[in-house]
Amino acid sequence: MTETLRLDDTTATAEPAAPPSAVPVGAEGRKPAVWTGVGVLIALAVVLVAVACWHLTQGTSGAVFADTDVLWGSRVPRLAAGVAVGVALGVAGILLQSLARNALASPDTLGVTAGAYLAVTALAAFGIAVPVWASGAVAFAGGIVAAGIVLGLAGGAGSSTTRLILAGTALALAFQAATSTLLILFDEETKGLLAWGSGSLSQLGLTAFLQAAPVVVVVTVLALVLARRLDILSLGDDTASSLGVPIRSTRAIGILLAVTLTAVAVTLAGPMGFVGLCAPVLARLLTRVVPSLNRHVLLIPAAGLLGALVVILSDALLRALIGAEAAILIPTGVATTLLGAIVLVLMARRLRDAGPTREPPRVRFGVRSRLRFRITLALVALGVVGVLLLGLLAGHTWLLTGDIALWLQGQAPAPIAFALDERAPRIVAAVVAGAALALSGAVIQGVSRNPLADPSILGVTGGGGLGAVLVLTSITSSTGGMIAGAVTGSLLAFALVYLLSWRGGLNADRFLLIGIGVSYFTVSLTTFFLLRSNPWDTPKIYTWLSGTTYGRVWEQVIPLAIVLVIAVPFVVMSRRELDVLSLDEDTPRLVGIRLEPVRLTLLLVAAILAALSVTAIGVIGFVGLVAPHAARALVGARHSRVIPTAVLLGGLLVGIADTIGRTVIAPAQLPAGLVVALIGAPYFVWLLWRSR
């Protein structure tokens, strides 16, 4: 069988394995195949034991095996927590990917982890002290609420998988924004949660593990009970239904089990990023070598073992490379993400093309009239003008339009002139950066033919944030230095993704998976350097990474504005190419389009726009995802209409977010990036609901 990890609504494999009942294999043929899979599981277990023994030797104390206090008080609890968390997230990830038949499905992308983390953070923010088991119950409640909302938005347990991932991504971004808001507003009450929020294996004894381990074991056994149903479900909903599998109840039970495992992992060690995505991908890639592993009775434990390996190997490598003392400050989740991202990139490079390109995943909208397009464009343009005016008037002190007139004439009193001198570059930066991100997202979605793609998923914004943070923390805090660092980081990240994805052509699945890996890698490195920087600078940098216009000057805005003015007409002139590229790989060649040069040029424009937006407003997500979707819903799918509408919608969204962030809790402020997610996610949610 050839595993292709497709990102569409049909199936996760080009040649799905038939269920046991449908495979006409005799006893002589079946047993060797099954025993081969069992042998792989035993090998994984042996490797896990070997890595666990090495893990026990890593720490600040040398003679650990001679010191039982250190061994049982610190090392063993840390190791036990790592194994439990890895198994839980690996099994949860394989359940979600199998149920959704989508390689991007995981506790992270379906909003489960974000919901559990938000619930635990809310407890700390409001000063509610509860025992460990109660924290687990709260995390479970948050995860199950998130899963329920995602299922409801997507149309229930029988919904399309693309819609499921879109709804989960939107909800995860909103929950993450709400969590970050609590961390900023209740910084004293939530002190320490920033590091814990990246996943930490630090334990105070074995108590928490002993409470969590039985739950992980029982839920994993229940998942194995579903193995036969999951095998049949891999053939598609119609085939599975005709073979007697209850689709909705299977998905509902599987999601409930995955949420339970995720809640246990979050309670035990915080949100351990990437494990729930990486471990299942590695397990499925193993099926290329050992096809019998494709049976879920073997695939589920394989994903659990690989998850445990990713967690404890990452933790051991971190302490071995930078030293046990230095590693105390770095959450294990940062290491798991770094290692998992590298592994995912290496494995994604081994993906083979899936043959003829199939229907790209999308949320479909009806045909829109030309009159509707013109009316929509005019209304959105008026909205942008209105938000520019509102951004100048609103703030800690509200001004009048006459004040703006005096300011433009150079006759405003000093307090008013000072306020408008500070507000003008901020609101213009918000609108211009939002427009640039929306245009970048529209181009990337069109070229990659995937509605989940945006600048952040391809590592561009993450690379820009990493470059800027490196400059700010180790070289200079000047505006020019930050711009140079952000642009360099973004373009290097994009070049890395493109070069690693190229294998005689650009396979869309490989491109997205490698982009996700590089994105996770850059974000984790940013967290690494942030936690190792001067603690007095951490809140300021963290706020900037959340997307803020605070302290913006014209020197940070003008370069992006110039590039945007050049890029918009260029992309509009390329509207025909984008329309054709959005279809498949073959049609562009048939109509005479030079596929690779055109694709590279458009992606480079998108990368430059995203890079410069980082210098103007920091690292801000969601705009490049939601604005093109909203534009398609309003004016249809033709890029001649999508591009101008998306650009204006992006500027309007970030402009409104910046104004709200400056006024809603004045004189305190919320980063625009958080407000974008908080107000953009409900709109995206409504859009998904409306298009059901």
Q: Which two tokens stand for residue 421?
A: 């001198």
Cα angle 494-517-459, degrees, rounded to a multiple of 5: 30
Domain boundaries, the chain: 38-348, 371-690
How far apart (Å, rounded) are the C-alpha atoms in residues 358 and 590? 17
Give the residue-averaged pLDDT of 62-88: 78
pLDDT band at 7 (very low <50, low <70, confident <90, very high): very low
CATH of 38-348, one of 3.30.420.10, 3.40.228.10, 1.10.3470.10, 3.40.50.720: 1.10.3470.10
The residue with greater pLDDT, 65 or 652, is 652
pLDDT confidence bin for 370, thresholds 50/70/90: confident
Residue 455 scores a pLDDT above 60: yes
Predicted confidence (pLDDT) per residue in 431-446, tens digit: 999 999 999 999 988 8
pLDDT given for residue 353 in this prediction: 47
Q: Reduced to 3 DSSP states, what percent helix, strand and coil does the chain have, rounded to the nearest 5?
A: 70, 0, 25
pLDDT digits (tens, 9 = 90+) for 548-573: 777 788 888 888 899 999 999 999 88
152 pLDDT exceeds 90?
Answer: no
* Mean pLDDT of the chain, nearest integer: 78
**pLDDT, tens digit (0-9, with 9 covering 90-100), for 298-352:** 999 999 999 999 899 888 888 888 776 766 777 777 877 777 778 778 767 765 5
The owner of tokens 């060690």 is 269
Which of the residue ranges 51-55, 110-114, 490-494 would you say has the lowest mean pLDDT? 110-114
pLDDT over 60 (residue 62): no
Measured CA to CA, the distance from residue 413 to residue 399 in angstroms comes to: 12
Fold assignment, 371-690? ABC transporter involved in vitamin B12 uptake, BtuC (1.10.3470)
User: For the chain, what percent of residues have pLDDT higher than 90?
Assistant: 15
Query: Are 38-348 and 371-690 the same fold in CATH?
Result: yes
% of the chain residues with pLDDT over 70: 79
pLDDT (0 to 100) of residue 87: 94
User: Which pLDDT band, with edges at 50, 70 and 90, does 14 fall under?
Assistant: very low
pLDDT exceeds 60 at position 356: no
pLDDT-derived band of residue 135, with 50, 70 and 90 as boundaries? confident
Average pLDDT (89-97) is: 91
- Residue whose C-alpha is closest to residue 399's, from 420, 414, 384: 420
Lowest-confidence segment of 29-38, 109-118, 564-573 by average pLDDT: 29-38
| Half-sphere exposure at residue 160, Cβ-oriented, CA atoms within 13 angstroms | 16
DSSP assignments along 594-643, one per residue:
-HHHHHHHHHHHHHHHHHHHHHHH-S--SHHHHHHHHHHHHH-S-HHHHH
Helices (H), 270-295: 275-286
> Is residue 84 very low, low, confident or very high in pLDDT (cuts 50, 70, 90)?
very high
**Between the CA of residue 554 and those of 322, 369, 439, 472, 551, what are the distances in Å?**
40, 39, 21, 19, 10
pLDDT tier at 383 (50, 70, 90 boundaries)? very high
pLDDT tens sequence across 116-127: 888 888 888 777
458 vs 14: which has the higher pLDDT: 458
Q: Using 50, 70 and 90 to split pLDDT, how confident is the model at 108?
A: confident
**How confident is the model over 169-220, as pLDDT tens digits?**
777 777 877 887 787 777 776 666 666 677 778 777 788 888 889 999 999 9
Q: How confident is the model at residue 630 (pLDDT cuts 50, 70, 90)?
A: confident
* 90 within 8 A of 216, measured Cβ to Cβ: no
- List, in order, residues 6 or more apart from 631 with CB less than 8 Å away: 438, 442, 641, 642, 643, 645, 646, 649
**Region of poorest pLDDT, from 265-274, 535-544, 594-603:** 535-544
Beta carbons of 456 and 519 less than 8 angstroms apart: yes
